[in-house]
Structure 1
Amino acid sequence: MSILRHGDRGQEVRTLQQRLNQHGAGLDPDGDFGDATEAAVRNYQRRVGLVIDGIAGTKTALALAGADCSNLLQHTLLVSAAARLGVELAAVMAVNEVESLGSGFLDNGKPKILFERHIMYRQLSTPRAPGDDAVDLKAHADQLAVAQPNLVNAKPGGYAGGTAEHQRLANARLIDDLCALESASWGAFQVMGYHAIRLGYQSVTDFADRMARDENEQFEAFMRFIEADPTLLKALKGKKWAAFAKGYNGPNYARNLYDTKLERAYQRHAAGCPIPEAA
């Protein structure tokens, strides 16, 4: 599905307008995504509880088609997150737009994940108990890397994408359940499993179970991640987008223009941000 926004024109916009009209929008289906269409999208998103951004993406299209959207991120959570973090709602919306994968779930209903074989290697090599021998653990990880390099490897890679990542995870769990769950990133915001305890979850299993529930749980993990990093939170409060992007996306953030995307998204949301408290 195409992502439609202000300024777009064409048959897809006309179809969007017609579907909005079925919900009482009263638009002229002229195929021009102007102010009236954006307002109608916002009104519809507000009515069904979706993030109120005026952008007709996959989630809005699914809702208009009558799909069950109960597991999708709700706008009220963004409002409460802004208050909880002490930042502008437009800043939270910008981060949600740029840093999420758009959706936290695959078409089969499973959460989006990415299994990181180099993290699996690291976790297997890490002593956890007083009696653990680091040399022995590393030797065992090295043996597994030779036998199953797609699952255990000192170097990143081996990605299969989509539902195939769940098969990789399932195979890795046969090697070591704890390390495997820790070695996957989860949900729309791709929070790594090894952060689970630091972020206040009872266990990595508890974390994984919650990531499989809905996007609101995935967003909660994202908020906890920001709260647990004072530098990241300070950058968000100050709208220092380069610093935020570096902290969240890593030192190569500029290669993908994350800071520029965050700045532009913030400006757009700041200009058109609804007042959710009155919604």
Structure 2
Amino acid sequence: MTQPQRLQHGSKGQAVRQLQQRLNQAGANLFLDGDFGDETEKSVRAYQLKIGLVVDGVAGEKTLAALAGADCSKLLGNIHLVDGAKRLGVDLASIYAVNEVESAGAGFLSNGKPKILFERHQMHRLLSTPRHEGDDAAALKAHADQLAILHPNLVNVRPGGYAGDTAEHQRLASAKLIDALCAPEACSWGAFQIMGYHWQRLGYASLDDFTTRMAISEAEQFEAFVRFIEADPALHKALKAKKWAEFAKRYNGPAYARNLYDVKLERAYERHAGCGCGQKVAA
């Protein structure tokens, strides 16, 4: 699968020259040298601010698409990050860093559906979990185990079986035939990969309310992320204190160190704070 193009400070070549040309067409005055330096980054930030995108200074998939004339109505806007930082009482640069490192990039697929990842091990756990008085936990687990034998790609004690992109929606549709409630709960939704089973804890009226909102816009997906932070005092405290290892451990799980999430967060924070976008916005 081809990775989305991402041009940033230090990038060089014909793709950067083309970027500079498009920025000039949008009002910049750059020398077309194919070198993504300070002036090109400033122009990218100015363009992003002008059209309402997240002002991160990186010409990624969204910025390049916008320069090519794509519809940006569903995309996360800078105003959403500013409002989220105020609501959480954290530096704006901290929110920029989390958005850069923890989000899955674009929150929607090319066909317009929200990005999801179906987690078969969560499906097994949810099928095994009593929900009503009188539920027999042993019987539920036995049923889940039987389903795991019949449909190991959809119900399993081990994670995996991912198909990616639109095929994840096909996995979800198949899982709904097994259990229409557990299946969407067993998915992570949107750019910030919020699991469906959190819907009630995050204050949504129903699971359907949550999934419907995740399909509206990246702003709604970011709202779910803000609620997720608010619902976890320890996670919120770690973000406020910029304790990146603690934040990454709680957000990503025990594999955070292997994937260097804490290092990536710290570096992203320093870059955004250094550019002047890290001013405190808390009241």
Normalised by the length of structure 1, the TM-score is: 0.96
In 2, Cα distance between equivalents of 1:274 and 1:161: 34
Q: 1:259 to 1:275 in 2, by over 3 A?
A: closer
CA distance in 1, matches of 2:278, 2:250: 29
Task: Tell me the distance in 2 between the aligned counterparts of 1:148 and 1:38.
Answer: 49
Out of 212, 216, 227, the position equivalent to 1:213 is 216
Query: Is 1:204 matched up with 2:230?
Result: no
1:91 equivalent among 90, 94, 104: 94
1:146 maps to 149
Q: Check if 1:194 corresponds to 2:197.
A: yes
What CA distance in whole angstroms lies between the structure 2 residues aligned with 1:88 and 1:79?
9
Of the two structures, which has the highest relative contact order with CA contacts closer than 8 Å and spacing of 6 or more?
2
Could you tell which deviates more after superposition, 262-271 or 27-36?
27-36
C-alpha distance in 1 between matches for 2:217 and 2:155: 29
Match of 2:114?
111
Matched, 1:161 2:164: yes
CA distance in structure 2 between the partners assigned to 1:273 and 1:12 by the alignment: 27
Q: Answer yes or no: is 1:256 the counterpart of 2:259.
A: yes
**What is the aligned residue count?**
277
Gaps of 5+ in 2: none
> What residue identity is the alignment partner of 1:75?
N
CA distance in structure 1 between the aligned counterparts of 2:136 and 2:29, rounded to whole angstroms: 70
**Secondary structure, counterpart of 1:206 in structure 2:** helix
Distance (Å, rounded) in 1 between the aligned partners of 2:5 and 2:128: 44
Alpha-carbon RMSD: 1.3
> Given the alignment, which residue of 16, 25, 49 partners 2:19?
16
Amino acid at match of 1:107: S
Compute the displacement of 1:235 (Å). Answer: 0.6
Q: Distance in 1 between matches of 2:15 and 2:158?
A: 43
Is 1:81 the equivalent of 2:81? no
Moved more, 137-146 or 110-119: 137-146
Alpha carbons 1:71, 1:215 under 8 Å: kept: yes
Alpha-carbon distance in 2 for matches of 1:5, 1:154: 40
Q: Which residue of 1 aligns with 2:184?
A: 181
TM superposition shift of 1:102: 1.1
> Which portions of structure 1, spanning 4 or more consecutive aligned residues, are displaced by more than 3 angstroms?
273-277
State the distance in 2 between where 1:161 and 1:33 align: 32
* Deviation string, structure 1 residues 201-230 (Cα, Å, up to 9, x no partner): 111111111111111111111111111111
| Matching residue within 43, 48, 52 for 2:51 | 48
Indicate if the aligned counterparts of 2:94 and 2:278 stay in contact, CA closer than 8 A.
no
Residue 185 of structure 1 aligns to a residue in which SS? Answer: strand
Q: 1:90 to 1:275 in 2, by over 3 A?
A: closer
Corresponding position of 2:39: 36
How far is 1:275 from its partner? 8.1
Deviation at 1:45, TM superposition (A): 0.2
The alpha carbon displacement at 1:108 in A equals 1.2
Percent of residue pairs bearing the same amino acid type: 69
Give the TM-score taking structure 2 as reference length.
0.95
Structure 1 residues 91 and 203: alpha-carbon distance in aligned structure 2, compared to 1, 3 A threshold: same
Residue 273 of structure 1 and its aligned partner are, at CA, apart by 3.3
Question: Does the Cα contact within 8 Å between 1:53 and 1:273 map onto a contact in 2?
Answer: no
Structure 1 SS opposite 2:35: coil
For residues 29 and 183 of structure 2, what CA distance do their matches in structure 1 show?
A: 52
